[in-house]
Structure 1
Amino acid sequence: MTATTRRPTPADPRPDLSAESRVPSGACRDLPPELGPDAIGVLEGRTFMFSDAAGDVPKGSIAGLVHDDTRFLNQWELTIDDAPLMVLSSGTVDAYSAAFFLANADLPHLPANRVGVRRQRFVGDGLYERVELRYFGTETTSIRLRLAIGTDFADLFEIKESGRDRTPDITRQHGPDGSALGFHYRNGSYVASVHVEADPPADLVDGDALVWDLRLERGQQWTCELSVPLRCGAENTRPSVRGFGEAVDHGPDDPSTRWVTEKPTLHAEAELLREVYHRSAIDLVAMRIEKSIAGEPVVLLSAGLPWFLTTFGRDTLITAYQTMTCGPEVARGALIVLARHQATAFDDFTDQEPGKIFHEYRSGELSQLGVKPYRPYYGGADTTALWLILLSEYWRWTRDDALVLRLRGNAEAALGWIDRHGDRDGDGYVEYATRSTQGLGNQCWRDSPDGVQYADGTIPVLPIATCETQGYTYDAKLRMAELADGPWDDPELAQRLRADAAQLRERFNRDYWIPERGGYYAIGLDGDKRPIDSMTSNMGHLLWSGIVPDDRAGQLARHLMSPEMFSGWGVRTLSTSDVGYNPIGYHVGTVWPHDNSIIAAGLARYGYREEANRIAMAMLEASRHSGYRLPEAFSGYDRSFGRQPVPYPTACNPQAWASGAPLLFLRTMLGLELGEDELHARAHVPDELGRIGLHRVAALGQHWNIDASGSDCRVSLADQAIQTAGAAPVDVTGTG
C-alpha cells in the first residue's frame, strides 16, 4: 500500500507529521526468526530471557537476557565437544521458568544420545540455570562441556534495530579459578555490569567461555549451577525467593503462591474457563512490577513479553481495569505511579504537556542519556482520560476516599490537559500530532503507521481525533462528576463536567456518524476535519464508554457481529470490505483479545448480552490452541479458514491486557456492577459454561461470593448467606 498524505503548502503552517513520516529508520525485527518457531521465553517483572528450543542464545540473534531495557547476555550457548545439543523436549514450566531435555549429537568418539542433558532455568532477580548431565554409555568417556557467553549491553531499541558496537568499551574481570566471569560497561553517567557465577567452577576460562573437562563413567551424574544476578542501581529487582527445586513446586513466599491465595477463587463446571482463568492469573503475576514510590510500596503491570516489559500508560491502565475483580492492588499502583510522572511542563522531544499522563517509560542507556524520548514519553492521546476512568473505577470498588482526595490535583490537571492541550484547535475534541523528531505518528491504541486509515487505504493527515478517545473523554468527565458529587464535595464542578459531557456527546454524534454502509462511526476526524471512513473495531469502545445513543447501538452490534467484522474467533480491527484489510496486518485486520473484551463489555452495557457472549466464547475457545493463553493478537482469517486461529507472527506472548481479557469477559458474563453499599450481578452465562462461582471478590471493603448459571444468580457476603432478591441458589461443582 502506498500512503498518500496532504503535504503542507507555504500557506499551511502545519508540518507533515503523518504516521508514515514517523516510521523509524533502519531494519526492525520483532521476534527472533533465527531461533525457530519453538523459541522459548521466560519472564518476571522487567526481566526476560529468550532462547532457542535447546536453551541457547546464538550470538548475533535478537534473543538474550534483558532487564530494565538493557541486554545483559547476547550469547549463551552450551556444547559438548563443540557440537550443539539435540532437543528431545523443551518448554516453559511457568511464565518465569523453563526446562530443556537434550542429548549429545553424534561425535567421532561418542555415539548420539549417550549423554542426557537437562537444563532448568528461571528468572527473578537475575537468571538462574542448572545443567545436569547423565551418562548412559557402557565405557568410560571424556567430554568437553563448553558454555560460550557474551554480552553487548545493547539498549532494547537497538536489539530490534541496528545499534552501535560497544565492544571497545566493555572490560572484563574473569575469575582465574573459573568461578566467575565479569563484564563492565560505562558511557558517561550510564554504567552497566554483569557477572556469571558457576558452581562448580570451570576447569578453564577460554576467552568468554567456561569449559569443563569431564570424565564420565556409566551411570554417572554431573551438575552445575549458574547464576547471573542483576543488580541495577536504584531500581533493584526484588530478591528471588525461589530455588531450582521450586521451578514446579512454588514456595510459600513465591509471588505466584501469594496470587493464588489472594485472588478470588473460581469454581466452574467448564474446564475451559478454569484453565483460562488459571493461565491468566499466572501470566499476570509474571508481569507484575513491584517498586516503591516515595517510600510507598506499589504493584503494577508491565505490558508484555518480549519488548514491552515496562510501564505503558494505556496498557497498564486498561489491564488494571480488566482485573478489578481480582483486587484493587494493581489499579492503585497504576494510579500512583502514573500520577507521579504526570507532566507539568512543555517539552517537544517527549511530547510533554502539562497535565498529560505518559505513554511509555524506558530505562535503557539511550533513554537515560536523552537519545530516545522515553524517560518517559507522553505520546498517547487517550492515556489521560483512561487514568481518570481508572481512578473512578478504583473508587467505585474500594470507596477509598483518602486516595481519591490525595489524587484530586492530578485529576484536575488531567481534565485541564483534555480541555486545553488535548484539544489542539478548540473544536471540543482531543486530537494528536507529535512534535517530537522521534514521536509516534498515531497516538491511539492503533499506533502502527497504518493503524488509522480511510476506507480506500490512504493515510490521513494529522492531527487526528480518533473516535474512541472522545468516548473515553465523555466517560471520564461523567465519572469525575461522580467524584465531585462524592468525596470531593464540589457540586459546581460536577455540574460543569456533566454539561461538558452532554455537549461532547451531542457534537460527537453529529460529526462522527456516517449514514452510509448501514450507519456507523468514523474512526476519527483528520486534520481537515474530514471523517476517516474506515469501519473498525473502535466502534465497540464507544459502546463501552456510553457515548452512543440507544437507537444507534443496534446498528453497531450488527456491524461488529457481521461476517466482515467478526472472524468467528473475535472482532477484527478492520472490516474485510475496506481496501486496507489484511488479516496479518497489525491493526488492519487482526483480532485483539483486549479489544474484544472492551467490545463485549460495551455490547453488554447496551443489552446485547448474546452478542457479548458470542465474542467471549470465541475468545475462550481460541485460547485452547495456545495453552489457554490469549496472545496479544492473532490473524483475522475467518474461522472456516482452519481449525484453529492463525497466529499473528510477532505477537507479544504473554501480554498483560490480553491476559486480562478473560477476567473482563468473566465480569461481563456475570454482569458485575457496584452499588452504594453492595455488589450487584445480572448474570447471562453461556450455556456452554454451565455453572460458575466466583468467590471472595473484594469490593466495598468486604468479600463477596457470586454463583450463577444462565440468568440465575446469587450474590452473598463471603462470610454470610445473604441472597439477592429473586435469585435462585446455584450448586456449583468443579474447582479451579
Structure 2
Amino acid sequence: MPDQTISILQGSAFVVCDRRGDFRASRDDAVGLFYRDVRHLSRWELRLNGRQLDVLSAKTIEYDEAAFFLVEPTGTIYKNPSLSVIRRREVARGMREELELQNHGIEPLQLELTFLFDADFADIFEVKDGLNKKGTPYRSQRQDTLTLGYRRDGYCRETHLRAPGAYFTDESLTFRLTLEPRDVWQGEIEVAVALAADQPLGKRAHSPDMPASLPQWFAAAPRIETDWHDLKSTYRRSIIDLAALRFYPYPDSSASLPAAGLPWFMAVFGRDSLITSYQALPFVPELARTTLRALAAQQATAVDDMRDAEPGKILHELRLGEMAHFGERPQSPYYGAADSTPLFLIVLDEYERWTGDAETIRELEPHARAAVTWMQRYGDLDGDGFVEYETRNPGIGLENQCWKDSWNSIVHPDATVARTPIATCEIQGYCYDALRRTARLARSFWGDPAYADALDADAEKLQRRFDQQFWLPDQGFYAVALDGDKNPVATLTSNIGHLLWSGIVPDDRVGSLVTHLCGEQLFSGWGVRTLADGQRPYNPIEYHNGTIWPHDTALIAAGLYRYGRRQEANRLSVALLEAAKHVGFRLPEAFAGYPRRATDVPVVYPTACSPQAWATGAPLLLLRILLGLEPTEEDGLQVDPYLPDRIGHLALRGIPGRWGHADAVGQHPTR
C-alpha cells in the first residue's frame, strides 16, 4: 500500500521499500532497486545481531533521498532501546546507503550489522506478469566489492556492492563492531549498476539541460498564493514530482523528458510525455522543448512491422530491458500508438504560443511535416478520412493504440470487444486540432500559406465527416469509436470530453455532451469515469472501463473551459483537487469509479502508478483553467479568472513565457 512503502527516484533509477528501508521481492512484487527496466536488487534487508529493527520514523527527502530512523527491538513497552540506527539512502544510477549507529547505553556493545541481499535481474514486464528468468546468474568477489550478475546470450546486467570494512558472503555483508557507551559508528555502502560485464556506471551520466536541484526547479516555477491551503500542498507536490520524473532515455542524449510513472512505466511514453509537457507549459516550458526534440530524434523513418512503425510516426514506448532486447515484448522504440503523432503537433504549436521560440519551430519543421504525412497516408488505413489503428505484430503488439490501450477498452454496450481496425473518436479530434495548429505554424513560420490553406481545408472536411459518422442522435453523444466493420461503438465514455478539448465539436452539440459528462453516470463526484456507470461493461475497478484518471478529467475540464463552460469546468477541477488531499496531495494514475457519496474518500486503483506523469500534471492544467490563462497574439498573457466558491483568492506569481514573467491574480467576487 502507498502509505506502507517509501519510493525514491532519479532519472532511470528508483527504489521501492518498506518503512525500515528493507525490501524482499516476490516474483510479481514491484519492490527493489530498478534501473532502466531491470531490477538490480530484489532483496536488501538489514539485521542487527540477526534481528529485524523497529521503526521510529521514515521519510523521503526531496525525491531522490530517504531517511529511516530505527531502534533495536526490546520486546516490551517497559524497556527503552539503547541503540539507534539511521539509514540515509540516495538513488542515482544505483544506490548509496549511509549508516549511523549510536550507543545510548552505559555498557559497550558487540554488534553484527548485516545486510541480506539478492538480485533477480527481473525485467519490469517479468515482474508485472510473474514470469521466470531464462538466463544464468553468477557472482564474484574482489577485495571489498561483490558482483551479482546475469547473462543471457549477449545480454548482461550486473550489480556491484562495495562496503569498506565489511565481511562478504554470496548472500550477505556484515560489519562487526564494538561500540562503547555514547559512541557513534558510521559506514557506507555503494551499489552500482552495470549494463555490461565489469563496467559499473558512475553516479550521473549527463549535465542537466534544466535546473537540476529542487531549489533551482522551484525558483524557475511560478509561486502560488491562495487561501486554499490544500491547493498549495498539491501544487508543491506536483512540481516536486515533475522534477523527479525527468530522465535521459537515450544514450548520449542531452534532452530529458518525463518518464510515465513509477513503478511500471519508468520509461518514455510518447503520449504521456507530450500531455504532461502540455499541462506544464505555464510552469516549466522547457519540459515541452526537450520532449519535442527528444521525440523528434526518434521519429520513425521506415515501415517496420515488428515495431508498428511507419515514416513520420512518433513513438509510443521505449523500453530497455531484457524482454524488449530479445523481442519478447515489442522491440524499442515501439510505435504502437495512433495518437502520439497528432499530439506531437498539438504540443509543438502550443509550445510556440507560450514561449515564442520560433527557432525550435523552424528546426522541427521537417518532423512536423512528416507527422502530418503520417496522419494522412499511413494513419488512415482504408482511405475513409479517419485515423485507424491495427497492429501488424499480432503476437506482441498492442491491440488498442489509443490512450485507453488495454485489450478490452474499446467495447460495445453489450460488452462485446470491438474488433480492429478501430478509429476512436478522440484521435479524430486530436487530428483535427493538429491540422489547425500546423496550418498556423506553416502560415506564420514556414512561409508556406498554400500548405496552411490545404491543412485548414482538410480540417474542415474531417470535422464534417466526423460529425456525420460518429454522432449518435438517439443518445445525444458521440460514439467512442468506429469498429472494423465501420459500426459505431455506442458506449458512453469519457473520450467525448477530449473532443471538447480538441475543438472539433460544433456548438450545437456541446450542451448535450456537457449534460452527459457532468451527469451521475460519468461524473462520480471525484472525477469523470472512463466508462459510464449503468452500462453492461462498467466496472469501477476495470483499468479503462470505469476508473477515474486525473489527466482524463483535467483534459475534459480544459475542453469545457474552451467552450466557455466555466462553471462545469470548475466543478470537475474542485472535485479532483479535493481528492488530492486524501492521497498525500499526490494524484495517482487512477481512482476506482465508486460514487463519492458511497465512499466519502477516493479509492486508489489497486496497481496505480504514483507518481505518474500526467496525473502529476493534472493540477497544473486545472490552475490554468481556474485563472483563465492564455497567451495572446500580442505577446502577452491573458488572465481571466473564474474562481469556484471553494477558493477566495488565487494567484500565480512569475509565470514564464514569451512576455518574460507575469503575474495572474484571481479573487472570488463575493469574498
Aligned to 2:624: 667
Partners of 2:330 and 2:352 in 1: CA distance: 33
Q: Does 1:195 align with 2:195?
A: no
**Deviation sequence 1:259-282 (CA, Å, 0-9, x none):** 011112222222122111111000
1:153-199 deviation line (CA, Å, top 9, x unaligned):
22222222344446744232242xxx322233444443322212224
Match of 2:352? 395
Is the 8 Å Cα contact of residues 682 and 711 (structure 1) preserved in structure 2? no
- 1:324-339 superposed matches below 5 A: 324-339=281-296
Please list, as runs of the form range in 1=range in 2, the aligned pairs for 1:107-122 lying within 5 A after superposition: 113-122=81-90
2:483 corresponds, among 522, 526, 529, to 526
Q: 2:24 aligns to what SS in structure 1?
A: coil
Deviation track 1:549-597 (CA, whole Å, cap 9, x = no partner) reads: 1111111111111111111111111110211111111111111110011
CA gap 1:509/1:76 in 2 versus in 1, 3 angstroms: same
- 1:298-313 matches, within 5 Å, as 298-313=255-270
* 2:146 is equivalent to residue 181 of structure 1: yes
For 2:161, the aligned partner's letter is V
The answer on whether the counterparts of 1:152 and 1:167 sit within 8 Å (CA) in structure 2 is no
Which of 60, 69, 91 is the matching residue for 1:101?
69
The answer to whether the 8 A contact 2:637-2:659 is kept is no
**Structure 1 length normalisation: TM-score?**
0.85
Whole-angstrom distance in 2 between the partners of 1:165 and 1:174: 26
- Report the equivalent of 1:246: none
Report the equivalent of 1:51.
17
Q: Aligned with 1:516: secondary structure?
A: coil
Cα 1:608–1:631 shift into 2, 3 Å? same
1:469 aligns with 2:427: yes
**Residues 135, 152 of structure 2: 8 Å contact kept:** no
Q: Is the 8 A contact 1:105 1:111 kept in 2?
A: no
- Give 3-state SS (helix, strand or coil) of 1:440's partner: coil
Q: Which position in structure 1 is the counterpart of 2:643?
A: 685
Give the deviation of 1:220 after TM superposition: 3.3
State whether structure 2 residue 507 is matched by structure 1 residue 541.
Answer: no
Q: Establish whether residue 208 from structure 1 lines up as the match of residue 208 from structure 2.
A: no
* Bigger mean CA deviation after superposition, 158-167 or 441-450: 158-167
Asked if 1:484 corresponds to 2:439, the answer is no
Q: Is the 8 A contact 1:299 1:329 kept in 2?
A: no
Match of 1:428 in 2: 385
Separation in structure 2 between the aligned mates of residue 266 and residue 187 of structure 1, nearest angstrom: 51
Deviation string for 1:376-427 (max 9, x for gaps)?
A: 1111010000001011111111222222122111111111111111111111
Could you give the per-residue CA deviations for residues 51-109 of structure 1, whole angstroms, max 9, x where no partner exists? 1232112153532110111211111111123222233332433332222232334589x
CA distance in structure 1 between the aligned counterparts of 2:201 and 2:621, rounded to whole angstroms: 32
Structure 2 residue runs without a partner (length 5+):
none
Cα distance in 1 between the residues matched to 2:585 and 2:5: 18
SS in 2 for 1:280: helix
CA contact (8 A) 2:270 2:316 kept: yes
What SS does the aligned partner of 1:142 have? strand
Give the distance between the partners of 1:294 and 1:397, measured in 2 at CA: 29
* In 1, Cα distance between equivalents of 2:469 and 2:187: 67
CA distance in structure 1 between the partners assigned to 2:134 and 2:536 by the alignment = 45
SS in 1 for 2:4: coil
1:113-152 CA deviation, whole Å, 9 max, x = no partner?
4432222222123212222223345544433221012112
Distance 1:420 1:185 in 2: 44
Aligned twin of 1:456: 414
C-alpha deviation, 1:434, in angstroms: 0.8
User: Residue 152 of structure 1 aligns with which residue?
Assistant: 120
Higher relative contact order (CA 8 A, sep 6+): 1
Change (3 A) 1:604 1:660: same
Find the counterpart in structure 2 of residue 720 from structure 1. none
Residue in 2 that maps onto 1:556: 513
**In the alignment, residue 49 of structure 1 is paired with which amino acid?**
V
In structure 2, the partner of 1:609 is 566
**After alignment, is 83-92 or 692-701 more displaced?**
83-92
1:619 positional shift:
0.9
Give the secondary structure class of the aligned counterpart of 1:184. strand
Deviation at 1:111, TM superposition (A): 7.5
Instruction: Identify the residue that residue 698 of structure 1 maps to in structure 2.
Output: 656
In 2, the alpha carbon distance for the partners of 1:207 and 1:156 equals 24
In structure 2, C-alpha distance between the alignment counterparts of 1:346 and 1:174, rounded to whole Å: 48
8 Å CA contact retained: 1:231, 1:237: no
1:619 equivalent to 2:576? Answer yes
The residue that corresponds to 2:8 in the other structure is 42
**Number of the residue aligned with 2:334:** 377
2:102 counterpart (97, 110, 134): 134
Question: CA offset at residue 540 of structure 1?
Answer: 0.7
Distance change (3 Å), C-alpha of 1:46 and 1:235: farther
Distance 1:444 1:396, change over 3 A: same
Residue 532 of structure 2: aligned partner: 575
Question: Aligned partners of 1:351, 1:699: CA distance in 2, in Å?
Answer: 37
Measure the CA separation in 2 of the matches of 1:235 and 1:497. 51
1:280 is aligned to 238
The AA in structure 2 aligned to 1:268 is T
The code of the aligned residue for 1:96 comes to: D
Aligned residue type for 2:85: V
Classify the secondary structure of the residue corresponding to 1:298: coil
For the 8 Å contact 1:343–1:358, the answer to whether it is kept is yes
Aligned 8 A contact 2:328 2:396 in 1: no
SS in 1 for 2:501: helix
Unaligned runs of 5+ in 1: 1-32, 242-251, 713-729, 731-736
State the one-letter code of the partner of 1:553.
Answer: V
Output the CA distance in 2 between the equivalents of 1:507 and 1:66: 47
TM-score (ref. length: structure 2): 0.93
Q: Which amino acid aligns with 1:313?
A: G
Q: Which amino acid aligns with 1:533?
A: A
State the Cα distance separating 1:521 from its structure 2 match.
Answer: 0.9
- Measured in 1, the distance between the counterparts of 2:52 and 2:251 equals 46
Secondary structure in structure 1 of the residue aligned to 2:282: helix
Equivalent residue number for residue 650 of structure 1: 607
Decide which of 227, 234, 237 is 2:190's aligned counterpart: 227
Code of the residue aligned with 1:206 in structure 2: it is: T
Local SS of the residue matching 1:653 = coil
Residue range with higher mean Cα deviation, 538-547 or 263-272: 263-272
Q: Distance in 2 between matches of 1:607 and 1:253?
A: 36
Structure 2 vs 1, CA of residues 627 and 89 (structure 1 numbering), >3 Å: closer, same or farther?
A: same
CA contact (8 A) 1:238 1:290 kept: no
Shift of 1:290: 4.1
User: 1:427 and 1:166, CA in 2 relative to 1: closer, same or farther beyond 3 A?
Assistant: closer
Question: For the residues of structure 2 that align with 1:139 and 1:400, how far apart are their CA atoms?
Answer: 68
Q: Provide the alpha-carbon RMSD of the alignment.
A: 2.5
> Quick one: which of 67, 74, 93 aligns to 2:35?
67
Q: Secondary structure at the match of 1:239?
A: coil
| Counterpart secondary structure, 1:475 | helix
- Bigger mean CA offset, 560-569 vs 697-706: 697-706
Q: Secondary structure at the match of 1:632?
A: coil
Alpha-carbon distance between aligned partners in 2 of 1:236 and 1:218, rounded to the nearest angstrom: 40
Cα distance 1:293–1:117, how it changes in 2: closer, same or farther (>3 A)? closer
Q: Is the 8 A contact 2:193 2:200 kept in 1?
A: no
Deviation at 1:469, TM superposition (A): 0.2
- Tell me if structure 2 keeps the 8 A contact 1:683–1:711: no
Contact 2:260-2:614 within 8 A present in 1 as well? yes
1:624 alignment partner AA? K
CA distance in 2, matches of 1:237, 1:450: 43
Please give the per-residue CA displacement for 1:306-361, whole angstroms capped at 9, x wherever unaligned.
11111100100000000000132111111111111111111111111111111000
C-alpha offsets along residues 629-650 of structure 1, whole Å, 9 cap, x if unaligned?
1111111111112231111111
* Deviation for aligned residue 1:547: 0.5
Identity of aligned residues (%): 44
